[in-house]
A and B are shown apart, each in its own frame.
Chain A
C-alpha cells in the first residue's frame, strides 16, 4: 500500500478545562473518501479544524507526505494542499461570490509593487467552477449573504475546488441541501477521489455515508472508537458504534 497523504498521530485538543479530543490516530489516503461519524460534540469539527490549521493541537503531530508539519494558520494548511469547507462555511456575507472564492488567495498583478486584483480573471474562473458544479446562481456579483443555504454551500465548494487541493475536507456539506443538491455533492466527493484527491466527509446521514465512503471512522467523546472499511460493516453496526452500544466501544470505555 502507498504512503498515506496525511497521518495524524496522538492528537489531543483542550479548550481550557474541556478536553475536546484525545489520543486520535488517523491516516488519510489519496483517492479515498473517509467518513467521520459521531454524535454532536464528539469532536469531529475540532479534529478537522486542526487539520485545517484553524486550531493548533494541544498534543500530537501531523505528518503530510512523510514530513512533519505545524500549521500556524489556515493559510499554511492551504499551502500544504488542504482545502476545508467548514461546518459554519466561513464565507463573508458582504462579499460577492468571486470575492469569496478567492478570498485570502486573490489573483493579482503588481503595478509599481502594488498588488491589484485581477477581477476579470477571478470572475471567469468562478463562472467555470460554478458551471462544473452545475450550480444555479443567477447573479455571481450578488453578495453571498443574499444566497440560499444550498447556493452558499456551492460557493464554499467552489472555494475548495479552486485550491486544486490534495485533501478536501467537508464538514456536514449536505446538512442544508435539498435532495438534488445532496446528490450533486455526493457525486462530487466520488469524482474528487477518482481524481486522486483525498476526501474527508463529516455527516450525520449514515446512508449517505455508505453511498460514498471507502472507510468509516467513528468519534465518541473526543476519542476515535472505531475504524471500518465501508464494505466490511453495515448500518446497524455503525449506529451502535456511534451510540456506544457496540461491545467494542463498551470494552474501550470500561478500560479507561
Chain B
C-alpha cells in the first residue's frame, strides 16, 4: 500500500523495495565483474540493455494488467504473431513505414481478441489467455510452415537502430511509453479506476466505475505495447523463429512482481517494473557469462517468482511485532 502512495509523488520516485532492487542490480554487476573477465565491457552492457527492450515494453503492459487483477500469459506468442506480420510486410516490399505500423496494429487487434474473451466473455484471465496461447502457438506453426522467417531486409533496422539527438530510438520509445503510462496511471481517472478494479471488481462496479471499458482498454494497451516490442524484435534479429517469445510472459510476470506490483492487484510500481526487468536481464546475462548454460535461465526466473511471492506470503502472515523487529 505504501508503494501506491510513495510512487504517486513523482515520475521516478522510489520506495524501499525499489531502492533494494537498484542495489541488487549493482551488487549483481559487481559480483559478475569479479567472476568473469568478459563481463564488465561496454559491449556487454549494450547487450543487456538491448535484450531488455521487448521485456521493458511488455512489462509495462503486464504491470497494468496485474494492477487490475488481470494477467496475460499469451504475450510471447502475440509478439510472435505480430513479428510474423511485420516479417511478411518487410519480405513483400521492404517498405519500413508500413512495417512500422503493422506491429502495433496486429498487437492491438490481438489485445482486442484477448479482451473479448476475458472481459466480454468473462473467462478468468489466466484461463482465457492460456487458451489463446494454445491456439496462437498452432497459428504460428502453420504460418511459418515449420520454418524460420529469416534474412529479412534491413529497412526496419535502419530506422530503429539509429539515434535521435544521441539517444537510441528504443530508449526513446521506452521513455515515451513509460511517461504516458505513468501519467495515465497517476494523473487520470483511468489509473484510479484500474487500481480500484484490482482491489475489488464488485466494489469498483458499485462505485460507478466503467469496469468493462477500463478492463478492455487495458488488454488493448498491453497488446499494443507487445506489437511495438515485436517491431523492435524484428528490427534487431531480422528473423522470426518458431520459439519466439516462449519465455516472455514468464519473464514479464517475474519482473513485474519483483518490482513490487501485487499479483493480487490493486497496487503497482512502474519504476519497480523497470528495475525488475534490468535485474532479471543482468542475472540472466551474467550467469551465461560465468558459464551457466542458457537452459537454466527459466529456472532462475521461476525461482525468483516463487521466492518473491513466498517471501511476501510469509512476511504478511508473520505477526506484526516480528516484522517490526526484523526491520529494526
Contact = CB atoms under 8 A, between A and B. Distances in A.
A103 B207 contact: yes
Interface string B184-221: 00011100110110111011111111100000000000
Interface string A93-104: 111100110011
Interface stretch (A16-24, A114-122, A202-210): A114-122
Nearest to B67: A94
Interface in A103-138: 103-106, 108, 114-117
B266 A117 contact: no
Contacts of A90: 202-203, 206-207
A88 B204 CA distance: 12
Interface stretch (A73-81, A181-189, A234-242, A245-253): A73-81
A95 B199 contact: yes
A92 B189 contact: no
Range of interface residues on chain A? Answer: 20 to 34
Given A114-B188, A117-B187, A104 B207 contact: yes
Nearest to A76: B208
Contacts of A75: 208, 210
A143 B203 contact: no
A74 to B, nearest CB: 5
B5 interface: yes
B238 interface: no
B1 interface: yes
Contacts of B196: 92, 94-95, 103
A54 interface: yes
A28 interface: no
Interface string A45-59: 000000010100000
Nearest to B186: A117
A117 B208 contact: no
B195 A74 contact: no
B203 A92 contact: yes
A115 B187 CA distance: 9
B109 interface: no
B208 A94 contact: no
A170 interface: no
A108 B192 CA distance: 12
B4 A103 contact: no
A94 B192 contact: no
Nearest to A105: B208
A54 B206 contact: yes
B204 A92 contact: yes
A54 to B, nearest CB: 6
Contact of B209 (A54, A86, A103): A103
A146 interface: yes
B207 A93 contact: no
B267 interface: yes
Contacts of B1: 94, 143, 145-146
Given A92-B200, A95-B196, A143-B5, A104 B209 contact: yes
A112 to B, nearest CB: 11
Contacts of B4: 94-95, 143
Contacts of B205: 54, 73-74
A168 interface: no
Nearest to A119: B187
B188 A115 contact: yes
> Which 7 A-B residue pairings sit nearest by Cβ, starting from the closest?
A104-B208, A75-B208, A90-B206, A92-B196, A94-B266, A90-B203, A106-B189
Given A54-B205, A103-B204, A116-B188, 12 more contacts: A52-B206, A84-B206, A92-B204, A94-B1, A95-B192, A100-B207, A104-B193, A114-B188, A117-B188, A117-B189, A143-B5, A145-B1
Interface of A: 52, 54, 73-75, 78, 84, 86, 88, 90-96, 99-100, 103-106, 108, 114-117, 141, 143, 145-146
18 contacts: A52-B206, A74-B206, A86-B206, A90-B202, A91-B203, A92-B204, A92-B207, A94-B195, A94-B199, A94-B266, A95-B195, A99-B192, A103-B192, A103-B209, A104-B208, A106-B189, A141-B5, A143-B4
